């Protein structure tokens, strides 16, 4: 995994940074992904198939990444990539909720290590038409191929989305995408009360690690300057499309 990834994994197991201010209510009927204690909105991955060119020039198949980035999300990404028999399908990110940012960077490193492209959009599965969330989830959860189409994401591409997207070899965002950077908050899965002094120290340390990550991915670290300001002021910043290329968040502006 390398020294940085191992260090991030140790930090991310218990103490981690999460997105602040963009939590989005989801259907309470969506089942949990894992076992007891697994959050209902944890990110799942499945293969989608659309019309020729649905996910770019000559691209009709993609991996949909859908849900909140949780402590074990990277394991599910590795699992679905391993099942593709060498096919490098692009990953289409649709994230929401209070995501684990350490794991989001792990997703990005996995994508870059596998030579995978990435974008952000909503995957609309044809077989889900007329079905409730529980039935639709049951279709998606196994990860097998489903006929689908892409549309601009229902949720903004938040900080977790941005960090995962950064790992794509080629990165794009379709017209209509909203990129909204919030701040970050320290969480401890076992002990929610973290002292203010430790919170500040950890925030600085995580910020250093995320800047290393963005530089490794070829992204301008000005993104983290914006996030740091938002953490202090409890505000959000919408990043206009004109800034995507300047900050090297994308390598092309559209699918």
Question: Each residue of 61-117: pLDDT tens digit?
Answer: 999 999 999 888 999 999 999 999 989 999 999 998 888 899 999 999 999 999 999
Of 110 and 24, the one with more pLDDT: 110
Give percent of the chain with pLDDT exceeding 70. Answer: 79
How large is the average pLDDT for residues 226-236? 89
For residue 134, the model assigns a pLDDT of: 87
What value does the mean pLDDT of the chain take? 84
For residue 13, the model assigns a pLDDT of: 47
Rounded to 10°, the helix 196-217/222-233 angle is 160
Give percent of the chain with pLDDT exceeding 90. Answer: 60
Lowest mean pLDDT among 90-94, 167-171, 198-202, 219-223: 198-202
Q: What angle do CA 92, 237, 22 make, to 5 degrees?
A: 60
Residue 219 scores a pLDDT above 50: yes
How confident is residue 193, by pLDDT bands cut at 50, 70 and 90?
low
Residue 23 scores a pLDDT above 70: no
For residue 98, the model assigns a pLDDT of: 84
d(CA 192, CA 185): 12
Other Cβ atoms less than 10 A from the Cβ of 229: the count is: 13
For residue 158, the model assigns a pLDDT of: 92
For residue 40, the model assigns a pLDDT of: 74
**pTM listed for this prediction:** 0.86
CA 144 to each of CA 89, 94, 173: distance values in angstroms, whole numbers, following the listed order: 13, 18, 25
For residue 18, the model assigns a pLDDT of: 73
For residue 189, the model assigns a pLDDT of: 58
Residue 6 tokens read as 């191992």
d(CA 53, CA 61): 9
How confident is residue 10, by pLDDT bands cut at 50, 70 and 90?
very low
d(CA 186, CA 159): 14
What are the tens digits of pLDDT across the range 133-170? 889 999 999 999 999 999 987 789 999 999 999 999 99
Strand partners, 65: 45, 93
Other Cβ atoms less than 10 A from the Cβ of 184: the count is: 23
How large is the average pLDDT for residues 118-123? 96
Task: Report yes or no: 178 and 157 within 8 Å, Cβ to Cβ.
Answer: yes
Residue 131 scores a pLDDT above 90: yes
Residue 8 scores a pLDDT above 90: no
Residue 140 tokens read as 């998606």
Residue 43 scores a pLDDT above 70: yes
DSSP state of 135: H
Lowest mean pLDDT among 24-28, 103-107, 183-187: 24-28
């Amino acid at each position: 995994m390398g020294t940085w990834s191992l260090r991030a994994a140790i930090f991310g197991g218990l103490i981690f940074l999460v997105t602040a201010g963009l939590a989005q209510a989801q259907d309470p009927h969506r089942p949990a992904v894992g076992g007891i204690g697994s959050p209902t909105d944890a990110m799942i991955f499945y293969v989608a198939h659309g019309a020729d060119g649905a996910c770019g020039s000559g691209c009709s198949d993609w991996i949909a990444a859908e849900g909140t980035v949780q402590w074990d999300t990277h394991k599910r990404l590795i699992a679905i990539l391993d099942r593709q028999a060498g096919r490098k399908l692009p990953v289409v990110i649709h994230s929401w909720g209070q995501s684990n940012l350490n794991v989001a960077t792990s997703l990005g490193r996995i994508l870059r290590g596998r030579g995978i492209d990435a974008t952000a959009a909503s995957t609309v599965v044809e077989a889900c038409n007329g079905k409730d969330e529980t039935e639709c989830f049951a279709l998606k959860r196994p990860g097998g191929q489903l006929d689908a189409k892409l549309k601009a994401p229902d949720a903004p591409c938040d900080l977790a989305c941005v960090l995962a997207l950064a790992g794509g070899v080629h990165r794009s965002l379709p017209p209509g995408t909203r990129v909204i950077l919030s701040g970050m908050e320290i969480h401890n899965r076992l002990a929610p009360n973290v002292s203010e002094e430790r919170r500040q120290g950890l925030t600085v340390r995580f910020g250093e690690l995320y800047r290393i990550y963005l530089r490794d991915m070829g992204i301008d670290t000005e993104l983290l300057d914006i996030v740091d300001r938002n953490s202090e002021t409890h505000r959000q910043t919408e990043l206009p499309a004109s800034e995507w290329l300047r900050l090297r968040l994308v390598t092309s502006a559209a699918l």
